[in-house]
């Protein structure tokens, strides 16, 4: 069955998601703000869920239509062939959002959509009651300027939940964003990666997984794996495919530094869970002691900032120190993500390249230095 899929993502990384989907052999890839679309089948659903580094989840887009009234919403949803995706015992909760639309009550929209699905299935299965004791199919809706999108979520937990980060320090960077930073910094399979503020190790782990071509979702489970109308072999085949593509001989090495003992312990523990510990060393070290000791290296940093862990003056002083120790050197690059709009002034160097990204809801810039 041919499907239209939609992958929501953090603002600013739509291009990375689109490129990744093309690399995964998805068809008709196209993007808009905060989401990327493609065409495929259930094998594609499994492949994206297991391999996607930058997307937040994978959803099957069932229908787009306009609705200015609850009757139009009801009829639009009821016209969808739900019986092709939902068995009579399946569980199908409804959730979603509405922005700048006539139908602004989320709870009312949920109720109407649920009723429409039930009425459609009643007619198709010739039963009057659905116990919903079977596999979970999360129905999601977006209503934007009266345009309705109806989808089913195949992922379950967001794709940023890889499974290795059971514990984290305050204000960790999201795994999908960390992976994007590593990609934009052009991490290599034979390179050296350094994070001088490693926290719980997320940036280093994502960078190592990228360098080794390790699929981030190979060890976790997805909602659609329980769907009875999808062959289990699809998921087995896609996991085997992903594992066969890992670069076993990658020479990449990573170093994590932090001033907190707990951060070093967490980085080591999470790296072990992620399967990249053999390539990583972590130790306690202040940023003031940073030195570019090897012939080449790639520094990836998400330093503490005023809105988060430090007061603004403390953060400003930290940026000044970074400007002194991150010295230009052939073979070295520095990529720093921060919401501080005065960063270049405090760092005392204008970035060779800047990229606007979002860390959660906080607008940031990725400042890249490589000359």
Q: Which residues, at least 6 apart from 43, have a Cβ–Cβ distance to it below 8 Å?
A: 234, 237, 238
Q: Which residue has the higher pLDDT, 1 or 143?
A: 143
Express as a percent the part of the chain with pLDDT over 90.
90
**What integer is the mean pLDDT of 81-100?**
96
What is the H or E stretch that residue 292 is in?
Answer: none
In which residue are the tokens 């990449």 written? 252
What is the structure's pLDDT at 311? 78
Looking at residue 293, its pLDDT comes to 80
Average pLDDT of the residues in 52-80: 98
Specify burial of residue 360 (Cβ count, 10 A radius: 0-12, 13-18, 19+): exposed
**Residue 71: its pLDDT value, please?**
98
Q: Which two tokens stand for residue 25?
A: 């052999």
Helix axis angle for 261-274 and 202-211, nearest 10°, is: 30
Per-residue confidence (pLDDT) for residue 360, from 0 to 100? 78
Mean per-residue pLDDT of the chain: 94
Give the model confidence (pLDDT) of 96-135 as tens digits: 999 999 999 999 999 999 999 999 999 999 999 999 999 9
Q: What is the pLDDT of residue 249?
A: 95
**Per-residue confidence band for 69, with pLDDT thresholds at 50, 70 and 90:** very high
Q: Six-digit token pair at 103? A: 């139908």
* Of 48-57, 68-77, 145-154, 304-313, the least confident: 304-313
pLDDT at 279 over 60: yes
Is the pLDDT assigned to residue 167 strictly greater than 80?
A: no
| pLDDT tens digits along 352-371 | 999 999 987 889 999 999 99
What is the per-residue pLDDT for 295?
Answer: 83
Structural domains for the chain: 3-153 (3.30.2130.30), 175-213+245-369 (3.40.50.150)
Calculated CA dihedral for residues 232, 237, 239, 242, nearest 10 degrees: -160
Q: Token digits for 157? A: 């937990």
pLDDT at 170: 63
Mean pLDDT over 60-85 rounds to 97
**Mean pLDDT, range 36-63, rounded to an integer:** 98
Percent of the chain with pLDDT over 70: 97
Which pLDDT score, from 0 to 100, does residue 179 have? Answer: 98
Per the DSSP assignment, residues forming a β-bridge with 82 are none
Split at pLDDT 50, 70, 90, the class of 304 is: confident
Tell me what pLDDT residue 171 has. Answer: 63
Where residue 240 falls among pLDDT bands split at 50, 70, 90? very high
- In angstroms and rounded to an integer, the radius of gyration of the C-alpha atoms of the chain is 23
Whether 294 has a pLDDT exceeding 60, the answer reads yes
**pLDDT score of 177 more than 90:** yes
pLDDT value of position 172: 78
Q: What is the pLDDT of residue 314?
A: 85
Question: What pairs with residue 34 in β-bridges?
Answer: none
User: Tokens at residue 172, please?
Assistant: 């960790």
Other C-beta atoms closer than 10 Å to the C-beta of 271 total: 25
């Amino acid at each position: 069955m041919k499907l239209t899929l939609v992958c929501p993502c953090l603002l600013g990384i739509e291009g990375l998601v689109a490129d990744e989907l093309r690399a995964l052999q998805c068809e008709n890839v196209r993007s808009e703000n905060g989401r990327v679309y493609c065409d495929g089948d259930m094998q594609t659903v499994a492949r994206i869920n297991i391999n996607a580094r930058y997307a937040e989840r994978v959803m099957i887009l069932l229908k787009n239509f306009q609705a200015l009234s609850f009757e139009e919403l009801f009829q639009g949803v009821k016209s969808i062939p739900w019986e092709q995706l939902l068995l009579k015992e399946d569980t199908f909760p409804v959730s979603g959002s509405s922005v700048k639309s006539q139908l602004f009550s989320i709870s009312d929209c949920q109720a109407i959509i649920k009723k429409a699905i039930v009425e459609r299935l009643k007619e198709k299965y010739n039963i009057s009651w659905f116990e919903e004791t079977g596999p979970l199919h999360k129905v999601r809706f977006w209503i934007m300027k009266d345009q309705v999108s109806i989808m089913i979520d195949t992922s379950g937990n967001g794709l940023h939940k890889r499974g290795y980060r059971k514990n984290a320090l305050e204000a960790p960077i999201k795994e999908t964003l960390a992976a994007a930073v590593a990609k934009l910094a052009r991490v290599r399979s034979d390179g050296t990666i350094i994070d001088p503020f490693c926290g719980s190790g997320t940036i280093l782990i994502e960078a190592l997984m990228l360098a080794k071509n390790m699929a981030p979702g190979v060890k976790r489970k997805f909602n659609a794996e329980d769907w009875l109308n999808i062959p289990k072999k699809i998921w087995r085949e896609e996991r085997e495919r992903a594992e066969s593509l890992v670069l076993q001989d990658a020479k990449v090495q990573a170093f994590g530094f932090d001033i907190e003992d707990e951060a070093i312990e967490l980085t080591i523990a999470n790296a072990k869970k992620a399967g990249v510990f053999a390539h990583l060393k972590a130790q306690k070290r202040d940023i003031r002691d940073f030195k570019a000791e090897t012939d080449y290296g790639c520094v990836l940093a998400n330093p503490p900032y005023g809105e988060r862990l430090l007061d603004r003056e403390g953060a400003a002083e930290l940026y000044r120190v970074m400007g002194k120790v991150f010295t230009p050197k052939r073979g070295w690059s520095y990529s720093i993500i921060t919401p501080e709009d005065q960063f270049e002034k405090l760092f005392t160097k204008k970035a060779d390249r800047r990229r606007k990204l979002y860390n959660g809801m906080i607008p940031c810039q990725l400042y890249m230095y490589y000359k």
